[in-house]
Amino acid sequence: MKRRTALPVLRFSTQTLLLQLGVVALVVLLSGAVHAWLSYDRLGREAENQALTLARTVASDPSVRAEVQSISALPAAPPPAELLAGPLMAAAEGARTRTGALFVVITDETGIRLAHPDAERLGEKVSTDPSEALAGREVTTRNTGTLGPSAGAKVPVYAPGSTAVVGEVSVGYSTETISQSLARDIIPIAFTAAGALLAGVLASFLLRRRLQRLTLGLEPEEIGTLVHDQVAVLQGVDDGVIGVSADGRVSVFNAAAQRLLGVPDLAGTAWAAAPVPEQLKALTRADAAEGEAVELVAGGRVLVVSARKALHGREDLGWVVMLRDRTELQQLTRQLDAVGTMSAALRAQRHEFANQLHTIAGFMSIGQPQQAQDYLAKLAGTGPLAFPVDQAELLQDPYLQAFLGAKGVEADERGVSLRLGPESVVRGHVTEPQDVTTVLGNLIDNAVNAAVAGSAAERWVEVEVLDEPGINGGAGTLHIVVADSGDGLGAGMTAAEAEAVFAEGYTTSVRPARPGAGQGLGLALSRQLARRRGGDVRVLEAGSPGGPGAVFVATLPGTTEPGPTLPGPAQPGTPDLRTPELRTPDLLTPETRREDNDV
């Protein structure tokens, strides 16, 4: 059995070309045919009018009228030989010869031919109906007689001095003559049609090339698939995608880009006038380093942005800008740092507790119970290992306790003492921990860096946190003040210079405190987050060389809510507002102590 070979499928551009050629050819042929028909009809009407004029001229001749009247009065028509030599035959043939008509025929009132180009037809009745002309009406006709097809006219012949019809004159012009005239006229029509067809073919080829260039040689099905895939990909990814065409207009602006930048869809707008940060536009300039990633703050988020040139073969399609949200990564990193710090503190406490147990076991093994008892009494007086944050009991919120405790351990490792100011008091609970962590963490990190880099002998960071209850039990406001022992931002700094520290990229750090940490974004991000909530972050004091350093104040509305009153302090006279689970002086449970006893 022979395998049936599939017919090759024509490309869409080829199909379009063939369709256009077919339409052009059909239009040209129809136009030529209609023009030819109209020309033929016009020539036919002209022949009829010419025949009518000649027939009127012959019928109005007095000698013809008199001769026809005299023959009509006879009981029978004269013989053909007599008619052939008579005056009517001479008048008819003379008119035909002068005008080039096909025939000039004269009949009596009964339709008998009295004059005819063919002598053999004399005395016979005409082949076409003469009744209308004999009835006194002039008519034009197109019919086929004994001499062939013709366009002619019939006119009645009246008796001299009377309105009585005694015969009729029939004149005709051959349609072959009309066709010859049409053939002469059809030559320019043919040239016009050929020129139109050639122009249509050329335009079709040009349109095909343009279509291929615009569609990049893709078929409609492929274009439709690409559109569906583009929509699915662009709207399904979490990364922002911005497409800038070669002519400088925004061609793609997906939903993630709108969310990350906090702007509406900018597709179709000029990229130079788009309301986006200038760092984005700088990435698409001709002198920009392709693929280089930069960090910027936009819409209250830290974004990592990169741009690449889009090329299809050698054709420049513009730029593709990618936006990645690093805010959650930074928050997660900060939380992991806090967890790691707490874990290190727990390990240190566990190690110290194990050493104490070993010491007690040693006293007992050498028979010194009294020294073991004295050692236990000393341990009871000093207490277990605690977070190095002074007055942490002023904070009722466990989240703030844990976070500031972790920051205190981290600061202590760098030789900085982290303490709470005497005015600190938080009775409620934090409801927006991410925003609070971002603002408070950035301020503390900057203060610790400034204290480490400062020239003061005692390195410290003081944090005051105060919550302001909301109206009618609504969300409250958290006020944060952070001061340090560093050398400040600069003596005599003006308000405008103080505002410069919140610009993206502003930093006084020589190197990042943590590998991979961004520089110059913390304060800008903190201010944007605070202002988005209706608050602010500002410089309260610029500080001075030798200390004390700068003082920053932050206001975060809508970040707290009233909380229940916790149990009283563990010892009389000592304020302790913390939950039992997160009290910093004692982070070990009885189960943990039993585990350490087995070490």
Contacts of residue 397, defined as CB under 8 A and 6 or more positions apart, other chains included, come to 426, 428, 429, 430, 560, 563
Consecutive H or E run containing 538: strand 536-541
Look at residue 82 and tell me whether its pLDDT is greater than 70: yes
First-last CA distance in the chain: 85
DSSP 163-220: --EEEEEEEEEEHHHHHHHHHHHHHHHHHHHHHHHHHHHHHHHHHHHHHHHHTTT--H
| SS3 (DSSP) at 584 | coil
Q: What angle do CA 260, 264, 269 make, to 5 degrees?
A: 115
| Distance in angstroms (rounded) separating the CA atoms of residues 407 and 551 | 18
> pTM to 2 decimals?
0.45
For residue 481, pLDDT beyond 90:
yes
Q: How confident is the model at residue 576 (pLDDT cuts 50, 70, 90)?
A: very low
Of residues 267, 272, 338, 326, the one with CA closest to residue 298 = 326
C-alpha torsion sign, points 29, 30, 31, 36: positive
Strand partners for 519: none
d(CA 398, CA 268): 50
Averaged confidence pLDDT in the chain: 77
Chain centroid to CA 489:
46
If one compares 463 and 16, the residue with the highest pLDDT of the two is 463
Contacts of 545 (CB under 8 A, 6+ apart): 455, 487, 488, 491
Q: Inform me whether the pLDDT recorded for 30 exceeds 50.
A: yes
Q: How many CB atoms lie within 10 A of CB 18?
A: 13
Buried b (16+ CB within 10 A) or exposed e, 172-193: bbbbebbeebbeeebeebeeeb
**Which residues are CB-neighbours of 208 under 8 A, at least 6 positions away?**
13, 14, 16, 17, 20
Q: Which of 496, 484, 491 is nearest to 538 (CA)?
A: 496
pLDDT (0 to 100) of residue 556: 92
The stretch 413-426 carries a mean pLDDT of 86
Mean pLDDT on 358-376: 81
pLDDT tens digits, one per residue of 325-354: 776 666 676 667 666 666 766 676 676 677
| DSSP β-bridge partners for residue 158 | 165
User: What value, to the nearest 5°, has the Cα angle with vertex 573 and ends 569 and 578?
Assistant: 25
| Rounded mean pLDDT, 206-229 | 76
Mapping DSSP to helix (H, G, I), strand (E, B) and coil, where does residue 397 land?
coil
Which tokens belong to 158?
């009246």
Token pair of 51 as six digits: 């025949």
- Distances from the Cα of 273 to the Cα of 284, 323, 358, 503, angstroms: 14, 19, 72, 22
Mean pLDDT of 142-155: 79
Give the SS3 label for residue 324. strand
Q: Given pLDDT bands bounded at 50, 70 and 90, which one contains residue 300? A: low
pLDDT value for 155? 92
